[in-house]
Chain A
Amino acid sequence: AQKVTQAQTEISVVEKEDVTLDCVYETRDTTYYLFWYKQPPSGELVFLIRRNSFDEQNEISGRYSWNFQKSTSSFNFTITASQVVDSAVYFCALSEGSGGSNYKLTFGKGTLLTVNP
C-alpha cells in the first residue's frame, strides 16, 4: 500500500528565513508521481509541482525548490527567503503509475507553515 508521511505537523519561522518541509513516501510501484499542493486559508488546494519517478533532477521555481531522492524515498520542499504570504498548509501527495488506480492521490497529513513578520 502507498503511504505519504509528513512528520512536521507545524512549522513557524520568521520572514526571510529558509524553511524545508519534509515528505517521505512508501510505494511498491516503480512508476509513480509525486506532488506538492498548497492550501491557503481560503481552502482550495493549489498545485505546485509534479515529479515522476524517473526524473530525480531537483527543480527550482523562484523561491521554491524541490529535492527528490529515491534512495531515501523523500521529496522535500524548500522555501527560500520565506514571506508571510507563504503561510499555508502544504501537502505532499503520491499517485502510483501502474495498476488500475493511477488517478488516485494519496496525501500526507500536511504541514502548517506560519511565517511571522
Chain B
Amino acid sequence: GAGVSQSPSNKVTEKGKDVELRCDPISGHTALYWYRQSLGQGLEFLIYFQGNSAPDKSGLPSDRFSAERTGGSVSTLTIQRTQQEDSAVYLCASSRRAQGEWGTEAFFGQGTRLTVV
C-alpha cells in the first residue's frame, strides 16, 4: 500500500484479555517502530525492528508486551492480560533506514486506539 496501515483502528477489550495489534509497513522499508501515545506520557518509543530482528525492545513497559515481525514486513504487537493503564493509541512507523544509518524520516500509520474496560 501507499502508506503504513494499522488494524484495527479501534479496539475495546476487557481487562485481563489479550490483544493483537497489526502493522503493515510501507513496502521496502526495512525499519519498523512501535510507539505509544497516551495523555499523560505523550509519545513513547516501544520497540524497533530492523528486518525481522528487534535490536531494541527497551521501551516495552512490561513483559506482558511483546512484538514480532515476519518476512521483513508485517508486525504484530501483542499485549497479554491487558490492564486499564494500557489504554492508549499505538502507532506504528516504518522507514528506509538501513542498519547504522540515521536521520531517515519515519512514516506513521493512523494508529490503533486501545481501550481497556
Instruction: List A residues at the B interface (Cβ < 8 Å).
Output: 33, 35, 37, 42-47, 50, 52, 91, 93, 95-97, 101-110
- A35 contact set on B, CB distance < 8 A: 105
Chain B interface, number of residues (Cβ within 8 angstroms): 26
How many contacts between A and B, using CB within 8 angstroms?
59
Instruction: List B residues at the A interface (Cβ < 8 Å).
Output: 3-4, 31, 33, 35, 42-43, 45, 48, 50, 56, 89, 91, 93, 95, 97, 102-103, 105-111, 113
Q: Check B42 against A44 for contact (C-beta < 8 Å).
A: no
**Given A33-B102, A47-B106, CB of A107 within 8 Å of CB of B48:** no
Q: Kindly state the separation between the CA atoms of A106 and B3 in the bound complex, as whole angstroms.
A: 22
**Given A103-B33, A105-B45, A108-B42, CB of A47 within 8 Å of CB of B107:** yes
Q: Kindly state the separation between the CA atoms of A43 and B47 in the bound complex, as whole angstroms.
A: 20
Q: In the complex, what's the smallest C-beta–C-beta distance from B91 to chain A, in angstroms?
A: 7
